[in-house]
Structure 1
Amino acid sequence: MTSHVIRQVRVTPIAFRDPPLLNAAGIHEPWALRAIIEIETASGLVGINETYGDLSMLQALAKASPALNGLSPWALSDMEARVAALVRPAAAASEFLGTHVSLAPGTHVSKTVAKVTSAFEVAMMDLQGQLANAPVVDLLGGASRDRVPFSAYLFYKYATHIDAPSSSGYPVDPWGEALTSAQLVTQAQRMIDAYGFKSIKLKAGALAPDDEAEHLLALAKAFPGTPLRIDPNANWSVETSLRIVEKLRGVLEYYEDPAPGLEGMAAVANASDVPLATNMVVTDFAEFRRNADMGCPVKIVLSDHHYWGGLRATQRLSTLCSTFDLGLSMHSNSHLGISLVAMTHLCASVPLLTYACDTHYPWQDDEVIEGGRLAFDEGSLRVPMGPGLGVTLDREALARLHDNYLSCGIRARDDLGQMKKYDPSFTGVQPRY
């Protein structure tokens, strides 16, 4: 019906407060960037999504948006073909190549087509659900589970941002410093008390590896029986990775991206029996094949629908993981509720979900959906069963977060540049240890 064809795509960049979280590449800036997608039909129906908000992504979205005009919300294959024809990865290459260390492929230019495709796909599926009066999970084949488990995601962090003092109106970070075992245990307990998480992940690669190992052992002692993971973001050499995994023998649920590259991961896998997980070296189907050709040194793929090409692409990945007897879970970056809800629909739809998923949600205090922050129940989120994604935009919040974007001065994430404000000698070269 012509009343339901797409007539307009709106992209609104937003910024929300982000704590001074440490990682292998440096430290988070005071503001995280996202973009809110609205796809409107001729009848006035609006489908929404949330995606990356850096300048190169905004440029790619603007370039591709006109291709959706006149399409049916059901024409996902046509949309994908049009996006692929319009958006070329090389177009944004100068924005990233040689500028900073990247922790995840979501920032890499090779993912541009997949990221734009995913951004539009989720919003179109939100429209489809509204038209069919069905939740997105049903459009994906139905729910394999009615709730999705998530993990406590711990970070080393400073107490305050160096360039966002409270006197400027930026609020004091309520989480405080976390650089010691005791501080990490306190952070974990607070997060578990608030959200009910049943597993714990430590973002490592920021401090000396032996210190980080001791901190994980302190977490194991404080939370006996709780599954633990550690993620150095490829900041350790193979030698260091193997030395640390021995210190953590019997403690780790899985070992995420300890060493750089698939070859480095394979060297660790060949000398250790702890399963390796990744969101850095198996990030598309070509890399999946390479992992398979090498005998699958990576045993757990941490997908992310934002850069794998969308919800349906991750379903295809799930089938491949089942075929090759690999585990599957989900990666996260700084995000708000729309991304979290989309992930929840996706995770509910795949029969294979081997481990609790990552989420940065506890580290954010803003929200852009009506009703405010999503509520976890014993570490899990229930799948929204309303039409489409089951959430709607809070227009006042959207305007406020867009004002943040206009005034914050950040247009691309730069953890390395931010860290140089604390330590001018910091290079971010990996592996550091």
Structure 2
Amino acid sequence: MKISRIQLFPIATPRETGIANQHVIVRLEAGDSHVGWGEMSDLSHVPMYQFDIPELERMLNELLRGRDARNIAQIEDDLIRFFPDEGHMYSRSGLVRQGIDLALHDLNARALGVPVYQLLGGKLRDRMRVCYPIFRMRSVEEVEPNLQRVEEKLTQGFDLIRVYVGANLEADELFLKKFTERFHGRVEIKSLDFSNLLDWRRVAMALERFDDLCDYMLVESGAPRNDIEGLAQLRRRSRRPLSEHVLHIHHGWQLLSAGAVDILNVSPYLLGGLRASLRLIALAEAARASVLIGTTQELSLGTAAVAHLAAAARVLDYPGDNTGPQLYTADVVKAPVQYVNSHLLVPEGPGLGVEVDEDRLQAMTAGAQWTFGTDLAGVLDRTPKERPSARRGDSLQG
């Protein structure tokens, strides 16, 4: 089953919070009539450079056309050589590998008439608990709208949230205090996510204040990126387990061997797809560490892939973050992935289990554009430019 063509479709999808994010949808053709779909998820991050889509498409066709689509291992090996790990949070190389990896798994599973999780070894679970994100607040005026959002999502069945903190501790404290008063016993907090904004000492001091205000499962990204010693210092002092995003397999080994984390945050968009993610999960199992599946907030294609990864993962101790299809107001599939009571259901159809609407895809590609401008706080916080703190002139220092 030889690969005959790869097409890339850049799109922009609005969020219910008022911003739009860019993605690249991958269409891979092989054999007589086989098609697989993948996704390079959420490119709207710092660093603010974008793909040269025609050139990337030309390069991928030159590299992969004529190759056996069933030999995913060989293709992955070559992609790692041409698109190596970049060692930072929003690696464009990882996204390229993710897009091809998902398309190959979708194509091969569809050719066999089975769900992708069968290619990963089978299914251990049919759903994964997930949380809804409450984005970072830079002013106290943003507290009440976020509490209202929690109430809205609870009526839709989401009783688990993740709270981004660290930019404005006064706003964080007010939100957590009012959250406990309003939602205690009805909604849980999966994590307080510092997003590598603060050094470990400031995180430790903040947690002392937060611990009196609310209950939560874990702490995420509690030191600047690549400060493994800082994470280890925080872990020795924290009353809750620590999680960090894994950038590549050696980074995972560094985090574990340094005693810096309890939980590996494993994300296909960072690592380059499903096969790479399974290797990190095996690493965690060998170290008797825990695993959660992270996100950059994928569309339904990428989220379906995460669901299949969760189905096959031997270690999956904590809820995931994969609620992108609940955030976006438009998608490229005919029917999105399904959520029930804060759980992402594993699709049971062939391939990834979601069907791309090609007419909608073409229309979204024609209308794709960048929406963040040069508002750095908006890019970092995933919030729109009309937020209250932006009207006052916000600071990146918190």
Deviation at residue 181 of structure 1 after TM alignment: 4.0
Deviation at residue 375 of structure 1 after TM alignment: 3.0
Task: Name the amino acid aligned to 2:340.
Answer: D
Q: Secondary structure at the match of 1:49?
A: strand
Q: Is the 8 A contact 2:263 2:289 kept in 1?
A: yes
- CA separation of 1:231/1:150 partners in 2, compared to 1, >3 Å: closer, same or farther? same
- Map 1:40-51 onto structure 2 (within 5 A): 40-51=29-40
Report the Cα distance in structure 1 between the residues aligned to 2:106 and 2:379, rounded to whole angstroms: 38
Q: 2:152 maps to which residue?
A: 190
Deviation at residue 301 of structure 1 after TM alignment: 1.5
Deviation at residue 20 of structure 1 after TM alignment: 5.2
Deviation at residue 139 of structure 1 after TM alignment: 0.9
Q: Is the 8 A contact 1:118 1:305 kept in 2?
A: yes
Q: 1:354 maps to which residue?
A: 317
CA shift digits 1:374-423 (9 cap, x unpaired): 33111112211111111121012101210221xx256x986517579747
- CA separation of 1:134/1:214 partners in 2, compared to 1, >3 Å: closer, same or farther? same
Report the Cα distance in structure 2 between the residues aligned to 1:324 and 1:76, rounded to whole angstroms: 27
Q: 1:63 maps to which residue?
A: 59
Deviation at residue 146 of structure 1 after TM alignment: 0.9
Q: 1:218 maps to which residue?
A: 178
- CA separation of 1:300/1:57 partners in 2, compared to 1, >3 Å: closer, same or farther? farther
Q: Secondary structure at the match of 2:11?
A: strand
Residues paired across the two proteins, number: 376
Residue of structure 2 aligned with 1:83, choices 79, 83, 100:
79
Task: Name the amino acid aligned to 1:201.
Answer: R
Q: 2:22 maps to which residue?
A: 33
- CA separation of 1:210/1:425 partners in 2, compared to 1, >3 Å: closer, same or farther? closer
Q: Secondary structure at the match of 1:137?
A: helix
Q: Does 1:341 align with 2:320?
A: no
Q: Which runs of 5+ in 1 are unaligned?
A: 22-29, 91-103, 159-176
TM norm structure 2: 0.85
- CA separation of 1:404/1:300 partners in 2, compared to 1, >3 Å: closer, same or farther? same
Q: Does 1:288 align with 2:245?
A: no
Q: Does 1:74 align with 2:70?
A: yes
Q: 2:47 maps to which residue?
A: none
Q: Does 1:256 align with 2:220?
A: yes
CA shift digits 1:14-57 (9 cap, x unpaired): 11113557xxxxxxxx3210011011013121100111465237
Q: 2:327 maps to which residue?
A: 363
Q: 1:148 maps to which residue?
A: 128
Q: Is the 8 A contact 2:266 2:281 kept in 1?
A: no
- More divergent stretch after superposition (70-79 vs 418-427): 418-427
Identity level (%): 21
Report the Cα distance in structure 2 between the residues aligned to 1:404 and 1:291, rounded to whole angstroms: 41
Deviation at residue 88 of structure 1 after TM alignment: 5.6
TM norm structure 1: 0.79
CA RMSD between the two structures: 2.8
Task: Name the amino acid aligned to 1:231.
Answer: D
Residue of structure 1 aligned with 2:196, choices 234, 237, 240:
234
Q: Is the 8 A contact 2:42 2:298 kept in 1?
A: no
Report the Cα distance in structure 2 between the residues aligned to 1:380 and 1:419, rounded to whole angstroms: 28
Q: Which runs of 5+ in 2 are unaligned?
A: 44-49
Report the Cα distance in structure 2 between the residues aligned to 1:424 and 1:219, rounded to whole angstroms: 25
Q: 2:5 maps to which residue?
A: 8
Q: Is the 8 A contact 1:73 1:125 kept in 2?
A: no
Q: Secondary structure at the match of 1:386?
A: coil
Q: 1:96 maps to which residue?
A: none
Report the Cα distance in structure 1 between the residues aligned to 2:177 and 2:377, rounded to whole angstroms: 32
Deviation at residue 116 of structure 1 after TM alignment: 2.2
- CA separation of 1:377/1:89 partners in 2, compared to 1, >3 Å: closer, same or farther? closer
Task: Name the amino acid aligned to 2:361.
Answer: L
Q: Secondary structure at the match of 1:252?
A: coil
Q: 1:124 maps to which residue?
A: 104
